Structure formats: structure tokens, C-alpha cells
Structure 1
Amino acid sequence: MTQQVDEMVPDDVVAAERRRRRKNPAPRILAVVGALLVVYYAVVAFSGALNVTTEVPIQGEQPVTGEDYLTLQMKTEDVDLTNRVLSANILPIPHGDFVGDRAGEMSENLRIEIVSGGMTTSVVTYPGESIVDPTTVTLVLDRGDTFYPWDRPFSDFRVSVQDDETGENVPFELTIENSARPWVMSATLGEVTTENGIDTLPVTLDGNRDALSVTLVVFYLLAILLTTLMAVVTIGSALLKKKLEFSNVIWLSATMLSFPALRSAMPGAPPIGTALDFIVLFPCICIVAAMLVWTGAHLLWRESKILRGRELDDDDAAASAAAGAAASDD
């Protein structure tokens, strides 16, 4: 009896019943997303990405012998790519006979000279038997923000320390800490050279943006590109289907105005004029602006047809009256 009832059910009803009973893909999608998040957090935790240190790795040897020497602690504070300068604080820490009688004092008069960009940019003097405080120094940067966010500015400078009274060279070692986020710094030391009896240590300080900043900038770029492509497809299909409306023009104007806002929201965004602007931002703005002008002119010409005619057609008048009545009812 059951077999006879099943045979009497139409095929379209059976197919519809099967479609209604298909498996829900939502749990699988949630499981995949959860697994990806677990893998991501595991990679972040075990890769040490969260254990960010301010110490700058230094390559090269510093020939410091004996117990009487200075430790120059340099801490980068800001990287100004617009003016191509790097601001840092420098603090000498005495060892041996250079330690004063009281804590934080220097026993000798010292002169610290930093040469950057081919000229002396900073000269720091510390009187003997005085409290030592950090002093701000300025370094000249090479390579600016042209290739944002993949720019790699660097600074070549020379450091020398002398006794301000006798003019003798004072042995020292250099340590660097980085407080200029989101920059990742590394330093390379050269061989000590002697010029006019002054020992100078050449240092090259390289910097690049961290991976998180670069990733966020890439996301912003993808958003600008995808929005531009969506605008082209949407407006093109509306024109072909003859369904262009005033809302499309408003959306285009809002899209064009949002691109500079996205550009300014990028982490560490430099002023307008980088390679990123010429490759991505300016073309996208020009495309959206051209579509805005074209659609605005097309819509204006189409809607002003009734105003441009010398004679008013009854059908057009009736349609206009009906549209006005509908608008008043709303």
C-alpha cells in the first residue's frame, strides 16, 4: 500500500521536498572560519609577533677595551619623512673613572659630535660633575616616502666622543632603542676611522614599516580598487538597462569623496604625491569623477526633456501631474 502511495506522488513534488531538505552549509562555514581563526592565533602566539622589543639589532663590532668608557644610549623618537629627518635622544652612561661622585654625574667634561648628511648636525657637551640628562639630536634621512608603504629610509651618520678639555678621544659603545612606531629599525656599524686625530664611528640606521601597517594599507588599496570596479559595473549596467536614477549620481559623488578620506586614514599616511597616489588613488578618482560627470549630464538631459520642449504634450503633462500627486501623497 505504501509503495502505491509513493508511486502516486508527482516527481516535481518529490524534487521540491528534496530541495527543502538539503543540508544547511552554515555550520560548515562557521567551522572553517573558527579553524582559520585558531590557526591564525596559534601562528601569532608562537611566532613571537606580540613580543615586540624596542632594542635595535646592531651589526658590527665595537672595539671597547678597559673599564673606563661610555655607553651612548640612543633612542629614536620620530621619523619625519616629509622633512627627511629623524629625531632621537642620546644619553651617555659613564663607566669606570668617568663616573662622578654622585649618582647620575659625569666626572669629566665631554663633547659628543654627530655628523649626518655631510655636516655636523648635533654637538652635545656635558660639563663635568653635573647631572646627565637625555639630549635631542637630529639625523638626516635618505630616501623619503616615495614608495609608501614599502619605503625604506636610512640615515648615515658618524659619532665621536672627546674630552672637552684635553681633546682626547673617549672610548664608547653605542646602543640604540626604537620608540618611533610603526617603524622597525636595524643598525650597521662600520670600522672606526681617524680624521684629524678624532676617532669617529660610522653608523647606518635603516628603517621599514612593520607588517601590520603594510597589511592595513593593502586592505585600504583593495577597498578603493573594488569600489571603483563596483561603480563601473553598477553604472554601466544601469545605463544599458536604462534604469539610471538620481541615487546613482549621489552614490558616485559619495564614493569619490570617500577615497581621500580612506587615503588619510591609512597608517602613517604621508602627504599627497607618493607613487601610491599616482598608481592607485588618482586613476580611481578620475574614473569615478568621469562617471559622475557623464551620469549627471545624462540624467540632467533626460529629466529636462519636458522643460526643453516648446509644446507640452498631454501625455507628458499627465505623467508629470501623476508623479507630483504621488510625491505629495508620500
Structure 2
Amino acid sequence: MQDTDGAVSQRKPWRAASIALLVVALYVVVVTIYGLGDRARALDTREPSASGALVYLDFVGVDGANFSIDARVTVYPGQDLVDDDGYLKDDLVVDVSPLAAGDRLEYVAGTTPGAGPVTLYADGDITRWPFDVHDAADVAVRVTSESVRGSIPIATDVAVTDSLSGWNVRADDPDRLSPQSFGVTANRTAGSVIFALALCVVLLVLPVCALFVTVQTVRERKKFQPPMVTWFAVMLFAVLPLRNLFPGSPPIGSWVDYTVVLWVVAGLVTAMGMYVLAWWRQAP
């Protein structure tokens, strides 16, 4: 008997060490995936042609609820379009479409072009979070020079970049035409998806723990503890804050509500009801 107890006691440190190693391994995997998803991008050193313009379309936000993608437009005119001091010789107009909000960007002669915001229309279904994909099709960037001679199209190179965290943005190579037309696709990074699924697992653990405690109490393997009712209530009210941590804030009614959140709440309420039943059965 003593040998058996000794063997069990020897296995306990190994179990603790194994659990600790598993936690460390999971931590390393999560951090590695996050690091790979947000690795540094190569520096873009392109320059505009002498008589053309270089337009940077930097995506800064995805709003699936409003079917839009936010971007910041930065224009670099060629040498023939500016004077010796770097100011525009004529008015410059940048027209980006299809716009969901905002208007074209206009730069007055005698000034230097700056960055301006645009909001593009993007088709997608945010209720499929975190596997939602948003597409902006037929994005066109057109630059024209406005002068007394009229509107003159400017040959334009478009560079697509993204400053989004947690998103992958891919753009088709635009043809060197005026206007240029290409498609943009945005989907969540692997790190963002794993984080979302991890939060779902955390939510699912709550009713599992609550039901385990309740079943043991109902079967009278454990005594009823009145303070445990507060524990059930705390877990029930923790569901909404945890759901609000979901990256991208999926709207109410997304698939995650029907497949995870609803059943988590139902499990917690069931556990609380069964625990009250255990109190009734064990009450003097």
C-alpha cells in the first residue's frame, strides 16, 4: 500500500511539469503566430514618373457592418507637375471609386498634396465572423490635372498598402490604365482567428465547470454551499463582457451567438437552476 502511495506521489510532480510545459508551448505558439501575422513589410521605394503620379492607397479599417473599407490616400506628383519649390503647378484631382462615403480629393495649385481619407464600398458578410471576407471590386484610381486647358488625365501608378492589425489585405495588380481598376480582398489573420476561437473556448468552459459542480451537488457527492450561487451569477454576467472582447465586435445575431453564446447562457442558467434544486433537496 505504501509503495502504491509512493508511486502516486512521484507521478504528481511529473503531471504538474507536463501541464506547465503544455501551457508554455501554447503560449509560444500563440505569440509566434501573432508575430508571423504582423511581420515587418518590405520598404516601398517606388518613385512617380516625371509626368505622372504615384498614389498610395493605405487601408486602415474594415467596417463589415456598414459594408465599407477605410483607406488613406497619399499622392506623390511627378517632377513635371510641380515647380522648383515642390508646389503644384495646376489643380490636381484624385478620384477613387466606388466610394461608400466622402468625395474626391482636390489639391489646389500652389500647395503640396497631402493624405486624405476615403471610404470604399466592400461586399462581405460579417455574421460569418471570424471567417468573414470583405471584397471591394473594381476599385479605380484616377488622377487629373485641372487647368485652363481643361481636365488632363495623368498616368498613375497605384501602390496598395495596409496599416491594419489583425487583417490580411490583398490587392490585384492594377493595369497601367487610366483609370486603373483592381480588386481588394480583406480577411482576418490566422492570429486573429485563433484569438477569436480561444475566446469561444473560454466561454464554453464556463457552463462545463458550472454543470460539473451542480451535478456533483445534486448527486449529493458534495454539500450545498450557499456562496456558490453568487459564483453562478458572476459567471452568467461574465458572458457579455467576454463576448465584447471578440475582435471586430461581430453584431448580435452572428453565427457565434447561435453556436456558442446562446448555449453558454443556457448551460449556466441550467446549472444555476439545478443548484437551487440541490438546495431544496438538502435543505432541512
Of residues 103, 106, 110, the one that matches 2:92 is 110
Distance 1:28-1:296 versus aligned 2 partners, 3 A rule: closer
CA distance in 2, matches of 1:301, 1:170: 83
Please name the residue that 2:204 is paired with. 225
Does the aligned pair in 2 maintain the 1:189–1:201 contact within 8 Å? no
TM-score normalised per structure 2 = 0.80
CA distance in 2, matches of 1:129, 1:97: 14
Of residues 76, 83, 103, the one that matches 1:93 is 76
Pairwise CA distance, 1:108 = 2.5
Does the aligned pair in 1 maintain the 2:91–2:107 contact within 8 Å? yes
Root-mean-square deviation (CA, aligned residues, Å) is 3.8
Pairwise CA distance, 1:216 = 1.5
CA distance in 2, matches of 1:30, 1:238: 30
Deviations 1:14-54 (A, max 9, x none): x46964995775499369939x759958x949x95563328
Deviations 1:160-182 (A, max 9, x none): 22222322221000112212222
Does the aligned pair in 2 maintain the 1:158–1:203 contact within 8 Å? yes
Asked if residue 172 in structure 1 is aligned to residue 156 in structure 2, the reply is yes
Please name the residue that 2:172 is paired with. 188
Distance 1:18-1:38 versus aligned 2 partners, 3 A rule: closer
Aligned letter for 2:62? V
User: For structure 1, which runs of at least 5 residues remain unmatched after alignment?
Assistant: 1-11, 57-63, 194-198, 304-315, 317-330
Of residues 152, 157, 162, the one that matches 2:133 is 152
Of residues 194, 198, 203, the one that matches 1:215 is 194
Q: Secondary structure at the match of 1:90?
A: strand
Q: Secondary structure at the match of 1:136?
A: strand
Aligned letter for 2:180? L
More displaced 10-residue stretch of structure 1: 285-294 or 274-283:
285-294
Pairwise CA distance, 1:218 = 1.4
Deviations 1:257-304 (A, max 9, x none): 11111111233323322111111011211221233245336636864x
CA distance in 2, matches of 1:215, 1:266: 11
Please name the residue that 1:282 is paired with. 262
Deviations 1:92-150 (A, max 9, x none): 101131133213x2223222212216x78531122222121111111112114211112
Asked if residue 124 in structure 1 is aligned to residue 108 in structure 2, the reply is no
Distance 1:20-1:30 versus aligned 2 partners, 3 A rule: closer
Distance 1:178-1:54 versus aligned 2 partners, 3 A rule: farther
Q: Secondary structure at the match of 2:242?
A: helix
More displaced 10-residue stretch of structure 1: 247-256 or 258-267:
247-256
CA distance in 2, matches of 1:287, 1:32: 29
User: For structure 2, which runs of at least 5 residues remain unmatched after alignment?
Assistant: none
Question: Between Structure 1 and Structure 2, whose CA radius of gyration is higher?
Answer: 1
Does the aligned pair in 1 maintain the 2:120–2:136 contact within 8 Å? yes
CA distance in 2, matches of 1:142, 1:286: 34
Deviations 1:60-117 (A, max 9, x none): xxxx9963110001222222223222222212101131133213x2223222212216
Of residues 39, 56, 63, the one that matches 1:73 is 56
Aligned letter for 2:196? V
Does the aligned pair in 2 maintain the 1:67–1:96 contact within 8 Å? yes
TM-score normalised per structure 1 = 0.70
CA distance in 2, matches of 1:298, 1:31: 33
Identity of aligned residues (%): 16
